[in-house]
Structure 1
Amino acid sequence: MDISIIIPLLNEHESLPELTSWISKVMNTHKFSYEVIFIDDGSTDNSWEIIQQLSKENGNLKGIRFLRNYGKSQALHAGFAKAEGDVVITMDADLQDSPDEIPELYNMITKGNFDLVSGWKKKRYDSVVAKNLPSKLFNAAARKTSGVKLNDFNCGLKAYKNVVIKNIEVSGEMHRYIPVLAKNAGFSNIGEKVVQHQARKYGESKFGMNRFINGFLDLITIWFLSKFGKRPMHLFGLLGTIMFMIGLLSAGYIGAMKLWKLYNNYETILITENPWFYISLTTMIIGTQLFLAGFLGEIILRTKNNEERYKIQEVI
């Protein structure tokens, strides 16, 4: 199979028939063998009924229905597990991503030998204050922190080699950082393509300003995981040891000064009345806790079991 198209969605019943027709037209024009996998992420409208009807009319359409809303990352994870195409395309269901971009994305993967190609919505039709400016700041921070030089991490329109999506773990809210996850997994040939962005035709955006706050927090998480995810002791153990030694040396210095003053008959105070004694003691306690955190992290990493992150209600 040439292409798998994965489309997560939440309450997009109005756009689904038009999107399906558009994809079918593009696929048939270019004679691609393909599958479209809709992942209904807990829709409360009749999106699933429409997916069922469309799948009866077009055998290339498949669907996964979540029991409730789990988030875009979990939807992509389920789609990646089911995808069989040589090239995997992800796109949104709101008609803001154009299926006309798919053939060129496919060629960039198959002929350009990219592992992953990310779309760049260079010209956007979103609110400047609500989305454009926060998105620019977010992307700048992501480039600086991750080392992946993309202009638009948030673009849902991306193309992957099948081997890439089978070797990355998309969890939490990490769908924004799939290129970073791919790079960390060893797929460094990452490209970018300017894609057409269209104004939303139906419904309202499901994402608010909080997605950028969550995005920055996830950025910190993925930086930590890429650096210390396999060996948390390297960070916590090091910090704990440094803090413990600072506290120990400080306490030793206070004790030595106390003995020196006693030996030379200087008037002195009790060690416990010296505020630096408590600073040293606190530093040693924090250092010990950090060291234990690293130790426990190593134990958890080696004994954890893979948890089920979402529940599927129905598959077609």
Structure 2
Amino acid sequence: MSMTSESADPDVRPPRLSVVVPVKNEAGNIEALVAEIGHACHNLAPFEVIYVDDGSTDETLATLQGLRGKHPWLRVVRHDRSGGQSGAVRSGVLRARAPVIATLDGDGQNDPSFIPVLFAALDQGGAGVGLAQGQRIGRKGAWKQFQSKIANGVRGTILKDATRDTGCGLKVFRREVYLALPYFDALHRFMPALVTREGFGVVHRDVVDRPRFTGRSNYGMFDRLWVGILDLAGVWWLIRRRRPAPRAEDVPEDVPHSETR
């Protein structure tokens, strides 16, 4: 008997996939997006969805709590104050139970139907691929397009990460690879370069950008461009300082040691 997304009990088997969604004051966008994620991940069961409420002051937390009875795979984490998008993603990844993580923004602009596409790309790449990165097409908003074009152009020239759009929230990656990355604010915008730094491959898939469901952006737009310059310099330094890490393995004891008398 096939297991539907609604009947997937997260306590029966460990999940194959953990979907992490950072949100701040997105009460009006939660119910529809949760339903879309459940539908998109139907064939990836067992899975879990971890919403991280990043210090919301609206009805975000109450809305999430109300949905948990309907969706047994839904988990909720709450920050006592806003820590930013990268901090919210990290809180979700640290609590995730699956070896593979998917992330997407909580405003509805990232279409969850692309999660299986990215999951398959990561899986097909094998253990040597650490990240499947979405790259948006059909972006909404001339100002956002202008910002992203400049920021991605500067970043790509300096880091040479072969990624057109690192700011896309749709990503699927190996949890152990993410946890090996140096953590800092805005980490999510530099993951392709940092995953490559750790010796893993990055694959890309185009994803469709949508208008947000309701409301307006709750994470500042200027961090896409001007504030990111300092982070860019830091990531460039990290890459330059990278040394190949030796691979460690346990040495088995072929012959038991004699007891010392």
TM-score by length of 1: 0.68
Question: Does residue 1:10 correspond to 2:24, yes or no?
Answer: yes
Matches within 5 A, 1:1-316: 1-28=15-42, 30-113=43-126, 114-126=129-141, 128=142, 130-187=143-200, 189-211=201-223, 212-228=225-241
Query: What secondary structure, in the 3-state scheme, does the structure 2 residue paired with 1:69 have?
Result: coil
Aligned length: 226
Quote the offset at 1:146 in angstroms: 1.3
Question: What one-letter code is carried by the residue in structure 2 that aligns with 1:120?
Answer: Q
Question: What one-letter code is carried by the residue in structure 2 that aligns with 1:221?
Answer: G
Question: What one-letter code is carried by the residue in structure 1 that aligns with 2:226?
Answer: I
Report if the CA contact (8 A) 2:55-2:81 is conserved: yes
Quote the offset at 1:170 in angstroms: 2.7
- Provide closer, same or farther for how the CA distance between residues 209 and 7 of structure 1 changes in structure 2, counting only shifts above 3 A: closer
Superposed CA offset, 1:82-115 (max 9, x none): 1222321000011111111111111111123332
Report if the CA contact (8 A) 1:77-1:169 is conserved: no
**d(CA) in 1 for partners of 2:179, 2:219:** 27
**d(CA) in 1 for partners of 2:242, 2:229:** 18
Superposed CA offset, 1:123-165 (max 9, x none): 1112x1x211121111111112112100001101011023212
**d(CA) in 2 for partners of 1:78, 1:31:** 23
**d(CA) in 1 for partners of 2:185, 2:116:** 31
TM-score by length of 2: 0.82
Report if the CA contact (8 A) 2:25-2:218 is conserved: no
Superposed CA offset, 1:30-66 (max 9, x none): 2521000111111010101111111222221111100
Report if the CA contact (8 A) 2:84-2:219 is conserved: no
Q: Which runs of 5+ in 1 are unaligned?
A: 231-316
**d(CA) in 2 for partners of 1:31, 1:218:** 35
More strand by proportion, 1 or 2?
Answer: 2
**d(CA) in 1 for partners of 2:113, 2:16:** 16
Quote the offset at 1:209 in angstroms: 4.2
**2:254 aligned partner:** none
Report if the CA contact (8 A) 1:38-1:62 is conserved: yes
- Provide closer, same or farther for how the CA distance between residues 55 and 112 of structure 1 changes in structure 2, counting only shifts above 3 A: same
Query: What secondary structure, in the 3-state scheme, does the structure 2 residue paired with 1:19 have?
Result: helix
Question: What one-letter code is carried by the residue in structure 2 that aligns with 1:107?
Answer: A
Structure with bigger gyration radius: 1
Aligned structure 1 segments of 4 or more residues deviating by more than 4 angstroms: none
Quote the offset at 1:185 in angstroms: 2.1
**d(CA) in 2 for partners of 1:210, 1:41:** 19
Superposed CA offset, 1:252-280 (max 9, x none): xxxxxxxxxxxxxxxxxxxxxxxxxxxxx
Identity over aligned residues, as a percent? Answer: 29
Q: Which runs of 5+ in 2 are unaligned?
A: 1-14, 244-261
Quote the offset at 1:174 in angstroms: 2.3
More helix by proportion, 1 or 2?
Answer: 1
